[in-house]
């Protein structure tokens, strides 16, 4: 039986995954990630949301707006602290506040220049103690003789002149208008209290994210409902790479050892780390003990089964892994996923519509169609901080069964997203520390105060644009998913350490079961499985792999007359890795 909507249960029924909690926390600690969520998800109704693997995008959208609101309050306070007194006729107060903010900004610029200069200085591996003594003597001279001047770069000297000028201006205004100076001090105190309050609120929100049993809002907005439907949709609209004639910067002769080039069509599933290249093709022949039998006598002129029957058998075989006892159960989710190119959807919008059982069978049974069906097996680990996805595509054409398999991985989120779970990051001391840390970011916020315009622009887009512009065709607009926020927050596969062996083990378990289930199915349909078994063994023991960007070629020869040189303690035929290997 086919289930076209066999998607994972909604997180409203269960607690949010660890990945969902960490992504919700990430919008508070990483402004670039927050802007990515707002720009590419919250205010981009003309693009489909990428499928979500192991997380729920709705609470992430909600907290992205809240985090942006906190930052906007601080930046509006900075701008208003100078603009409101000036407009109200208290120009000296505005000048004093502007001088104070300018001094803080100059302090930040000076620190940035010192850090840049320190990084550019060559490392002194020899006579380190002598160099430290020189630095100590220089600082001592500055302490004893304040008028002593060391040689400074021109930029630092200019900053000093500007800082002295701003300080002098502030002193003159404060002496001549003492009442306005008191008012400026009151406004500055209010700003400090505001920063402390926002820092405490941010920490309390992060703590609540880690403890809450449900992060989804009780009532979804229109955009949240559209994103929720798209993240769970069985159809994924992927973005095709630009045509080679349109890429002026493409390097000539650059070859990617992958079926898909430098961009994976499995949007949202993570980094493509494993694939069969080329797919495995098996002729549908009857079993025979006569080695001299002719092809036309052995082959099935009519396929002994329909492709969807094999898919149904594999789907049920995989679901059994999730029914074992808790100590040995492999938690997996099995679903049908249909991939459609955004250019095909632009020509025929009905390709992205939901499929019933009959339509899904037609997609599975029709090779070469614009809808590409994959049986998707997802194995989450550590609260979905690691998600391994194995995709299997089968087709029957030309009296031959073709099987293709690929695997993608979503690795863990950054440590800054998970810091709230660490020791000492909860409780009153954490709130107080967060409040004062927020106050310490005041010089940075001065430099970023212009971004309040960006947030107001995002609010305007959210208010004006419709909630979903992908359901109806639009002229010159392609609706394919551009960005997956989970992929952007994922660690690179090449930097995953001990968890890598567990993930590869789960992939291998899924692969072996799929191959064995397919073999059992073919044997019941009067198909000779000897060739299938040989190919499966060669695939499993193949010496050619593709794990991300790490390509390894063992015992291969290229060119006319080339041959493989075997080691002295190795038989001459041991280098044959067989056909249908992994690349």
The two structure tokens encoding residue 512: 């072996």
- List the single range of 71-75, 345-349, 370-374 with lowest mean pLDDT: 345-349
Beta-carbon neighbour count of residue 143 at 10 Å?
9
In a domain, 355, yes or no: yes
Nearest 10 degrees: CA dihedral of 174, 177, 178, 180?
-90
Cβ neighbours of residue 496 under 8 Å, at least 6 residues apart?
386, 409, 411, 412, 503
Q: What is the CA radius of gyration of the chain?
A: 31
Residue for token digits 């397919």? 518
Chain centroid to CA 68 = 20
Cβ neighbours of residue 185 under 8 Å, at least 6 residues apart?
none
Phi, psi of 544 (to 5 degrees): -115, 125
pLDDT digits (tens, 9 = 90+) for 380-423: 999 999 999 999 999 999 899 999 999 999 999 999 999 988 88
In a domain, 216, yes or no: no
- How many Å apart are CA 394 and CA 405, to the nearest integer? 9
In a domain, 10, yes or no: no
- How many Å apart are CA 426 and CA 429, to the nearest integer? 7
Question: How confident is residue 243, by pLDDT bands cut at 50, 70 and 90?
Answer: confident
Say what the pLDDT of residue 460 is.
93
- The CA distances from residue 575 to 41, 452, 560, 571, in Å, are 50, 63, 18, 8
Residue 120 has pLDDT above 60, yes or no: yes
In a domain, 357, yes or no: yes
How many domains does the chain divide into?
A: 1
In a domain, 170, yes or no: no
Per the omega criterion (within 30 degrees of 0), is the bond before 581 cis? no
The two structure tokens encoding residue 562: 């080339």
Cβ neighbours of residue 318 under 8 Å, at least 6 residues apart?
332, 334, 375, 377, 510, 513, 514, 517
- How many Å apart are CA 187 and CA 199, to the nearest integer? 18
Beta-carbon neighbour count of residue 424 at 10 Å?
8
pLDDT > 90 fraction of the chain, expressed in percent and rounded: 53
In a domain, 441, yes or no: no
Cβ neighbours of residue 1 under 8 Å, at least 6 residues apart?
312, 357
pLDDT digits (tens, 9 = 90+) for 122-136: 555 444 545 454 555
Which range marks the domain in which residue 531 is found?
A: 233-241+258-412+490-554
pLDDT digits (tens, 9 = 90+) for 262-272: 678 899 999 99
pTM of the complete model? 0.83
- The CA distances from residue 491 to 47, 271, 435, 497, 502, in Å, are 25, 10, 30, 11, 16
In a domain, 397, yes or no: yes
In a domain, 370, yes or no: yes
């Amino acid at each position: 039986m086919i289930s076209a909507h066999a998607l994972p249960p909604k997180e409203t029924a269960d607690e949010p995954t660890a990945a969902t909690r960490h992504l919700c926390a990430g919008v508070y600690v990483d402004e670039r990630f927050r802007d990515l969520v707002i720009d590419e998800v919250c205010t981009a109704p003309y693009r489909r949301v990428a499928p979500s693997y192991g997380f729920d995008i709705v609470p992430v959208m909600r907290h992205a707006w809240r985090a942006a609101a906190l930052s906007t309050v601080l930046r509006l306070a900075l701008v208003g602290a100078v603009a409101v007194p000036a407009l109200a006729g208290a120009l000296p107060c505005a000048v004093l506040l502007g001088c104070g903010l300018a001094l803080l900004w100059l302090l930040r610029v000076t620190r940035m220049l010192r850090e840049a200069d320190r990084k550019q200085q060559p490392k002194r591996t020899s006579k380190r103690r002598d160099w430290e003594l020189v630095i100590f003597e220089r600082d001592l001279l500055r302490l004893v003789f304040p008028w002593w001047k060391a040689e400074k770069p021109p930029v630092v000297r200019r900053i000093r002149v500007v800082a002295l000028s701003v300080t002098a201006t502030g002193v003159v205004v404060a002496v001549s208008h003492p009442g306005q100076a008191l008012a400026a001090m009151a406004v500055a105190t209010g700003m400090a209290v505001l920063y402390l309050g926002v820092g405490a609120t941010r920490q309390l929100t992060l703590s609540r994210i880690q403890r809450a049993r449900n992060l989804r809002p009780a009532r979804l907005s229109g955009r949240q409902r559209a994103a929720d439907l798209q993240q769970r949709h069985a159809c994924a609209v992927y973005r095709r790479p630009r045509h080679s004639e349109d890429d002026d910067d493409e390097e000539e002769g650059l070859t990617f050892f992958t079926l898909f080039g430098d961009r994976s069509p499995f949007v949202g599933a993570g980094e493509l780390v494993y694939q069969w290249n080329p797919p495995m093709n098996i002729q549908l022949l009857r079993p025979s003990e006569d080695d001299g039998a002719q092809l036309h006598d052995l082959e099935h002129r009519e396929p002994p089964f329909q492709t969807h029957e094999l898919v149904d058998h594999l789907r049920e075989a995989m679901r059994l892994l999730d029914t074992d006892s808790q100590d040995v159960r492999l938690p997996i989710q099995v679903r049908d996923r249909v991939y459609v190119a955004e250019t095909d959807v632009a020509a025929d919008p009905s390709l992205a519509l939901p499929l019933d059982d009959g339509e899904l069978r037609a997609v599975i049974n029709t090779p070469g169609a614009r809808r590409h069906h994959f049986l998707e097996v997802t194995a989450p680990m550590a609260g979905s901080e690691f998600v391994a996805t194995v995709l299997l595509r089968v087709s029957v054409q030309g009296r031959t069964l073709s099987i293709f398999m690929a695997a993608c991985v979503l690795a863990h989120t950054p440590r800054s997203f998970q810091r709230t779970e660490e020791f000492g990051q909860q409780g009153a001391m954490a709130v107080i520390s967060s409040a004062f840390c927020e106050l310490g970011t005041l010089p940075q916020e001065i430099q970023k105060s212009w971004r309040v315009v960006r947030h107001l622009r995002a609010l305007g887009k959210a208010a004006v644009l419709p909630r979903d512009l992908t359901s109806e065709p639009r002229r010159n607009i392609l609706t394919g998913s551009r960005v997956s926020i989970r992929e952007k927050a994922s660690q690179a596969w090449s930097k995953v350490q001990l968890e890598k062996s567990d993930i590869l083990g789960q992939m291998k378990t899924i692969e072996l079961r799929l191959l064995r289930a397919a073999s059992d199915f073919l044997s019941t349909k009067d198909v000779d499985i000897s060739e299938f078994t040989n190919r499966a063994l060669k695939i499993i023991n193949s010496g050619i792999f593709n794990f991300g960007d790490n390509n390894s070629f063992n015992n291969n020869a290229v060119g006319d007359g080339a041959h493989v040189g075997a080691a002295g303690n190795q038989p001459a035929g041991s280098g044959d890795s067989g056909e249908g290997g992994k690349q």
